Amino acid sequence: MGYTLELYATRLDAVRAELADPRLTPEATGARPGVDDEVIARWPELAATVARALTGDGGDVTWPHSGYVRFVVRGLGAWYGSLWHTSSGGREFRSGLLAGSVADLFGEDTARHLVNRPLDQLAWPDVPMLGWLTNAELRPLAATARTSGPAPHTPEQDADAVWTLIDAVDRAASAGRDLVTVYT
């Protein structure tokens, strides 16, 4: 088993709008019977609870509500790649790749925002967690990341992941999209 940081290009305002006024069906998001049964079975309830939280006082979004949000992002976004780690490699992923190689290239705030960033008054204390960067945040990152690439001291095993992220940032910035991530 492992964990994945999924990278989606979409419009953050479209994600907010869908969460506030749900219209997507499980089928439109790629939720699969037999795999995602709990989220599919409770879809209307989960959607209504998240909508109330987003438009009300907010709060922590935990499983299975966070699973619902993941499918909303998948349904609205274009998949631009993913970064993954084994179950036992989470600490190295967060402290080595993200807080190290990714932070060296994009800055510490950006690295943190990729894994877990509140959306309005919604927070993500557990996996799956939502992260995001607006197109306005992506454009300056894309302008320099493609030419500079990973730092020279980036471990070889991290370089491919950094290039995947550079490509996603560059493509989303060029397309006028935001980058929304789901750490699951």
Partners of residue 131 on adjacent β-strands: 181
Single out the residue of 28, 56, 50, 55 nearest to residue 130, CA to CA: 50
**Nearest 10 degrees: CA dihedral of 115, 4, 8, 98?**
40
Question: Which two structure tokens, joined as six digits, stand for 20?
Answer: 């506030």
The answer to whether the pTM exceeds 0.75 is yes
The total number of residues written for the chain in this structure = 184
Percentage of residues in the chain having pLDDT higher than 70:
99
Q: Across residues 39-68, what is the average pLDDT?
A: 96
Residues 6+ apart with CB under 8 A from 135: 172, 173, 176, 177, 178
Residue type for position 89: G
Could you tell me the pLDDT band of residue 86, with boundaries at 50, 70 and 90? confident
Is residue 88 pLDDT above 90, yes or no? no
Tell me the per-residue pLDDT of 6-22, one tens digit each, with 9 for 90 and over: 999 999 999 999 999 99
Q: What is the mean pLDDT of residues 136-153?
A: 91
Looking at residue 34, its pLDDT comes to 85
Residues 147/131, Cβ–Cβ less than 8 Å = no
pLDDT class of 79 with cuts at 50, 70, 90: very high
pLDDT of residue 4: 93
- Block residue for tokens 């959607």: 47
Distance between CA atoms of residues 75 and 55, nearest Å: 21
Distance of alpha carbon 35 from alpha carbon 83, whole angstroms: 21
Residue predicted with more confidence, 88 or 55: 55
How far apart are alpha carbons 85 and 158 in whole angstroms?
11
Tell me the C-alpha distance between 99 and 38, whole Å.
33
Question: What pLDDT score was predicted for residue 1?
Answer: 66
